[in-house]
Amino acid sequence: MLKEKLASQFDFLRATTPPLIGVDISSSYIKMVEIVEAGRGLYRVERYVIEPLPKDTVTDGNVSNIEAAGEVMRRAHKQMGTRVKNVALALPSAAVITKKVILAGGQREEEMEYQVQSEANQYIPFSLDEVNLDFQVIGPAPNSESEVEVLIAASRKEKIEDRVAVAEAAGLKTSVMDVESYAALAAFDMIKNAANGIEAKDVTAIVDIGAQTTRVTVMHEDQQVYSREQQLGGYQLTQDISRQFGMPIEEAEVAKKSGGLPDNFGPDVLQPFNEKIVLEISRALQFFFTSTQFNKVDHIVLCGGCAMLEGLEEMVSQRTQVHTLVANPFANMALSSKIKPRQLTIDAPSLMVACGLAMRRFDPS
């Protein structure tokens, strides 16, 4: 059947209802989050864990050592202390081809599947036998009541199979395969509220500063209107520490997280690195203004492992003159007794993808 051709093991982009854990396999860590219902429309963070990966286990978004990644995921799952074995995983955006298309509305799913396959043939530079393909109806087409806007997503099968194999090595079952950028945007939905002044009608830049890359995504009316990614991240700060203080890379990484660096770390290393981040954000916004009809940004939301760097939030706000805040998608959630609130606040910016994946449990679509 065509449905089997579209996604052989599971549908990525599709929702699921059984209990599941959101699992983010990043370049340096495996991050796991479990969220449960805590009343009508309310949620509770039940458990989470962040476990470091051995060097080069994941390179350029690809799992290079499935056995090592599986062992870390198994250890992280055991540390969580949960009975839930279903997981939601995500592919890096670079591993997924996405395209929005307009199709006639009111079709049966089988009819739409054939149209999706026809459209996909035009945009995907691989044989459809080599990819997992899925689609999701976003809603009515912008300029036609009789048509719908559909998101098509496709990825090489081996990219998906590698991540599924990591979960299987950990004794877990993959129920959902998402895309990292979409999972992070799902977590962003938990941040929008009256308390911080962010509304859907606003133009909001989400700046994800990871270990290797910084990605700037601009949202407006719940739609992504711009995205830019640069090779700049926390690993560069680790390298800067290593060079400045003559430390091995591994020791510099530990010192970066635990503190105890010499007094000149702030002015000589951290501040110049923050300057690079701010410069990249400013450049991304300038590209955004010159390539779209927008001429302003209302908010900047910092997330990723470097979002909590001392002085960064203030520097971004001052240099860009834009309201800036550090992401915490759990701010309006209850916390189980197992969670340390202060530590979660520190870890929250780096848990956006894992949070968005965990929330797939409650997605009604």
Question: Tens of pLDDT along 7-55?
Answer: 444 455 554 457 999 999 998 999 999 999 988 778 999 999 999 999 8
Q: Roughly what angle, to the nearest 10 degrees, separates helices 66-80 and 157-169?
A: 50
Read off the pLDDT band of 365 (50, 70, 90).
Answer: low
Q: Among 3.30.1490.300, 3.30.420.130, 3.40.50.300, 1.10.3860.10, what is the CATH number of 95-156?
A: 3.30.1490.300
Q: Which CATH class is domain 7-94+158-185+349-362?
A: alpha beta
Are the C-beta atoms of residues 191 and 219 closer than 8 Å to each other?
A: no
Count how many residues are written for the chain.
365
Question: Tens of pLDDT along 223-271?
Answer: 889 999 999 999 999 999 999 999 999 899 889 988 889 999 999 999 9
Question: Rounded to 5, what percent of the chain is helix, strand, coil?
Answer: 40, 30, 30
* Residue the block writes with tokens 């679509």: 365
Architecture of domain 194-326 in this structure: 2-Layer Sandwich (3.30)
Angle made by CA atoms 258, 356, 212, in degrees to the nearest 5: 45
- Over residues 272-294, the mean pLDDT reads 97
Are the C-beta atoms of residues 191 and 331 closer than 8 Å to each other?
A: yes
Grouping H, G, I as helix, E, B as strand and the rest as coil, residue 172 is coil
Q: Where in the chain is the domain with CATH 3.30.420.40?
A: 7-94+158-185+349-362, 194-326
Question: Tens of pLDDT along 163-202?
Answer: 999 999 999 999 999 999 889 989 999 998 867 889 989 9
Q: Where in the chain is the domain with CATH 3.30.1490.300?
A: 95-156
Determine the Cα–Cα distance for residues 261 and 210; give it in Å rounded to an integer.
22
